[in-house]
Amino acid sequence: IKQFLLLSKRRTALITQCLKDSETSKPNFMPRLYINRRLAMEHRDNPALDPSCKNAVFTQVLSLLEGRCLVLCRWPLRYDQWWECKFIAEGIIDQGGGFRDSLADMSEELCPSSADTPVPLPFFVRTSNQGNSTGEARDMYVPNPSCKDFPKYEWIGQIMGAALRGKEFLVLALPGFVWKQLTGEEVSWSKDFPAVDSVLVKLLEVMEVMDKDTFEFKFGNELTYTTVLSDQRMVELIPNGSSTVVRYEDRKEFIHLVQKARLEESKEQIMAMQAGLLKVVPQAVLDLLTWQELEKKVCGDPEVTVDALKKLTRFEDFEPLDTRVQYFWEALNNFTNEDRSRFLRFVTGRSRLPARIYIYPDKMGSETTDALPESSTCSSTLFLPNYATAKVCEEKLRYAAYNCVAIDTDMSPWE
């Protein structure tokens, strides 16, 4: 049925209507959460110190909301903030920027953007492709087969649903293999699993067609009825599988058992995420979306191009030929996509598009300076100093993007 629904010319209108029909009225209050990001940063640097993960922003938000279902995120679209954030010892009045920062922090804790940092929460693990630096989609994560905290997966699904309904993003680097299951699309070993473990897919392809002599030379009596899941846990494919040698004649049965185990390794976790998603988004909406559309609505567009930024950026109080404007675009042209994503978060609290940006001269006016730029994420505003060269502008913007996320000009941290 889904494939016919996706062909409907009225699909977009039906999605809009389904979301509108499932709206709730706005409650009389917005939850106010006091978050300690310094403790969260310490946990992110060394998760082993706190196995309970109580200091992670994700856990702080969940505990302060007391685990309540995010039906509050089924408010009409004009109410695009689900809670108000107060960051302890940071200068911010939350008119949207602090809230967006909390979502960005949670995204980074769930699926870190850097392959060199530990994963501070137990809900997702790096794919084999990421661990081995092989195949496609080397920056992806899958739900952790060992983690049985299904209520938390359900809550993650609720936040995803809220992002789908609203204007904000929860950036989760998940392969199509996961998104397809969330939308109810069928997954295929040959089409979808190479994004998770391309080495295993290739190995099984070769094993299936190899002759007996090659099989026995390569594996001898060492290949048993076991496989390693994404969490690096070895599981038996049959009773006493670890002590049962795979014979050449039975290799196809072994291949089938491996494929089944790997395709279903995160099935329970994905079902819990889908259950949470459906608490916020009607089933009809998932039926009308492709997996690619679901990913983009939840996570935003991962490509932060200069052309897209030009369409979303407004310069205020600048002369048409001001060198600051020229230097700014030269700097962003020299940025990598990751640099531009970090810059976007520094200014707006979002790491993905679409996001509007407003740029004003800084308080020094036209006077040349080496000062760092300042931002106000609540108003998505950048205060751009007058730099001597495009190179200096590039260096200062990049430094701020990577090092000044917790700094905001809204107020004194001690007020």
Tell me the catalytic residues.
378
d(C-alpha 349, C-alpha 94), whole Å: 11
Q: What is the DSSP string of 196-259?
A: HHHHHHHHHHHHHH--HHHHHHHHTT--BSEEE-TTS-EEESSTTGGG-BPPGGGHHHHHHHHH
The contacts of residue 334 (CB under 8 Å, 6+ apart) are 394
Structure-token pair, residue 248: 């050449």
- As beta bridge partners, residue 360 has 383
How far apart, in Å, are the Cα atoms of 106 and each of 49, 137, 149, 240? Answer: 19, 21, 17, 41
d(C-alpha 242, C-alpha 14), whole Å: 52
> Is 372 within 8 Å of 345 (Cβ atoms)?
no
Exposed/middle/buried for 32, CB within 10 Å: 0-12, 13-18, 19+? exposed
Nearest to 138 by CA among 109, 115, 106: 115
Sign of CA dihedral 340, 342, 343, 348: positive
The contacts of residue 7 (CB under 8 Å, 6+ apart) are none
> Is 249 within 8 Å of 131 (Cβ atoms)?
no
Residue 397: helix, strand or coil by DSSP? helix
